[in-house]
Every structure is written in structure tokens, then in C-alpha cells.
């Protein structure tokens, strides 16, 4: 079995969000760390599936040197 390289990441999180994620982790019998990985993987999958044009828009805005929020159209 091949091991996947993992890294430690430290960041600040809203207390209510942490409590919510911990309750989901408990329901799904996962560690908090594993639940964060699952949540981030799911967010990336949904973002790529539902909004592929956002990536194009963001890249174009960054190249122009005048990035603006995508939702401004």
C-alpha cells in the first residue's frame, strides 16, 4: 500500500465552525483532522464541478492585474 505524503497545517477557525465540524466528525466516526480533509475535498470537488468558469475568470483577473470578486460579473 502506498502512503500519501501529508503535512501539518495550522490556522485559526471560528469556534462555532469548529464545534459544528467536530459534531459531524463524531457522527461519522472520524477524527477532526480527517473530517477537515473530507470537507475540503468535497468543497474542491463541488467547486470544480459546479463552477469551472470561476477558475477561468479568476485567472483572467489575476493576469489583468486588477482582480475583482467574481460575483461582480
> Of residues 60 and 38, which shows the higher confidence score?
38
Verdict on whether the full-model pTM lies above 0.85: no
Q: Does residue 46 surpass a pLDDT of 60?
A: yes
CA distances 36 to 8, 51, 63, 64, Å, are 12, 22, 31, 34
Q: Does residue 49 surpass a pLDDT of 80?
A: no
What's the pLDDT score for residue 44? 85
Q: Are 58 and 70 in contact (CB under 8 A)?
A: yes
Average pLDDT of the chain, as a whole number: 83
Amino acid at each position: 500500500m502506498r502512503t500519501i505524503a501529508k503535512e501539518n497545517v495550522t490556522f485559526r477557525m471560528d469556534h462555532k465552525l469548529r464545534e459544528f465540524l467536530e459534531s459531524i466528525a463524531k457522527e461519522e466516526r472520524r477524527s477532526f483532522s480527517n473530517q477537515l480533509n473530507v470537507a475540503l475535498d468535497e468543497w474542491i470537488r463541488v467547486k470544480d464541478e459546479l463552477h469551472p468558469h470561476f477558475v477561468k475568470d479568476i485567472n483572467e483577473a489575476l493576469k489583468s492585474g486588477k482582480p475583482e470578486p467574481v460575483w461582480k460579473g
